[in-house]
Structure 1
Amino acid sequence: MLDRYGARNPRIFGSVARGDATAASDIDLLVDLDPQGGNALLRVAGIGEELSTMLGVRVDVVTDALLRKAVSATAHLDTVAL
């Protein structure tokens, strides 16, 4: 599914990656996008929507470029490659 969006190198970060998620937690996913694949915002939204439907839990998808700088440093410390 990620291939259709030109996404690769999926990594989970946040509470799920740290092992302190609760039943109300979402899944945070960091991906790399092919720069030739079109609008990044539309692609991460599409990935998030499809994964949320498949998994039955909200999945937030971001790229390094879309992460806020304050979040980026801690996100990279948490990441778990899939």
Structure 2
Amino acid sequence: MTKTDEPHTLPDRDEIISILKKEMTYLKEEFKISEIGLFGSYVRGEEDNESDIDILVSFSEIPGFIKFMRLEDYLSHCLHGIKVDLVVKNSLKTNIGKEVLSEAIFA
């Protein structure tokens, strides 16, 4: 296996939460985030090289589409370039919402 063939090291759940905590002051100021958490495969320890990072957010002020996309890009950059899938907590449907909230770890 050559150096370019080696898989990149995926961050674990604790590293992701640590990064989110570290970024929280900026996220509150720039994106008006009131709450941020991790859910999905990274919480369950089921992530692989194809996994995105599922992030649950609440806002004190709802962002426009462009700002929302900037937030996704910013978080992806902070999290080693792995694609981020942002889910707004208020938009969760009842059944899936219960499942997401039961496994979410908030920063």
Q: Secondary structure at the match of 1:72?
A: helix
C-alpha deviations, 1:1-32, integer Å up to 9, x for none?
A: 31210002211001111111111111111111
Q: Hey, which of these two has a bigger chunk of helix by percent?
A: 2
Q: Does 1:59 align with 2:84?
A: yes
The worse-fitting range, judged by mean Cα deviation, of 38-47 and 9-18 is: 38-47
How many residues of Structure 1 are paired with residues of Structure 2 in the alignment?
80
Report which of the two structures shows the higher radius of gyration computed on alpha carbons: 2
Question: Post-superposition shift, 1:45?
Answer: 2.3
In 1, the alpha carbon distance for the partners of 2:95 and 2:78 equals: 30
- Partner Cα separation in structure 2 for residue 75 and residue 25 of structure 1: 16
Task: Label 1:71 to 1:42 Cα distance change in 2 as closer, same or farther (>3 A).
Answer: farther
Partner of 2:96: 71
In structure 1, C-alpha distance between the alignment counterparts of 2:91 and 2:65, rounded to whole Å: 9
Tell me how far 1:38 sits from its aligned partner.
4.5
Q: RMSD of the TM alignment (CA)?
A: 1.9
What TM-score, normalized to structure 1?
A: 0.79
User: How much identity, in percent, do the aligned residues show?
Assistant: 25
d(CA) in 2 for partners of 1:71 and 1:40?
Answer: 24
Instruction: Give 5+ residue unaligned stretches, structure 2.
Output: 1-25
- Structure scoring higher RCO (CA < 8 A, sep ≥ 6) equals 1
Q: Give the strand-richer structure, 1 or 2.
A: 1
Moved segments of 4+, more than 3 Å:
38-44
Say whether the 8 Å CA contact 1:44–1:62 is kept in structure 2.
no
Three-state SS of the structure 2 residue aligned to 1:11 is strand
Alignment TM-score, normalising by the size of structure 2:
0.63
